[in-house]
Amino acid sequence: MTIGKQAHMESAQSIKTELLATLDGMEYCLDWKEDPEEWSAREVVYHVLETPPGGVHSLVKGILSGEVREYDLWSDLTNMNPERAGYDLAQITADIESFFQGLEEALSSASDEDLDAKKVIMHQKTRGVDEERTLKAILERTLDVHFREHLTQLRSLREALAI
User: Model confidence over 80-95: pLDDT tens digits?
Assistant: 999 999 999 999 999 9
The pTM score is 0.93
Q: Homologous superfamily of 5-161 in CATH?
A: dinb family like domain (1.20.120.450)
Going by pLDDT thresholds of 50, 70 and 90, the confidence category of residue 29 is very high
Output helix, strand, coil percentages for the chain, rounded to the nearest 5: 60, 10, 30
Would you say 94 and 139 are in contact if contact means Cβ atoms under 8 Å apart?
no
Q: Can you give the pLDDT at residue 163?
A: 86
User: How would you class 48 by CB atoms within 10 Å of its CB: exposed for 0-12, middle for 13-18, buried for 19 or more?
Assistant: buried
Q: For residue 107, which of 155, 60, 50 has the smallest C-alpha distance?
A: 60
3-state secondary structure of 124: strand
Question: Which contacts of 153-156 are long-range, i.e. CB under 8 A and separated by 24 or more positions?
Answer: 153/39, 153/44, 154/19, 154/22, 154/23, 154/41, 154/44, 155/22
Convert the pLDDT of each residue in 103-115 to its tens digit: 999 999 999 999 9
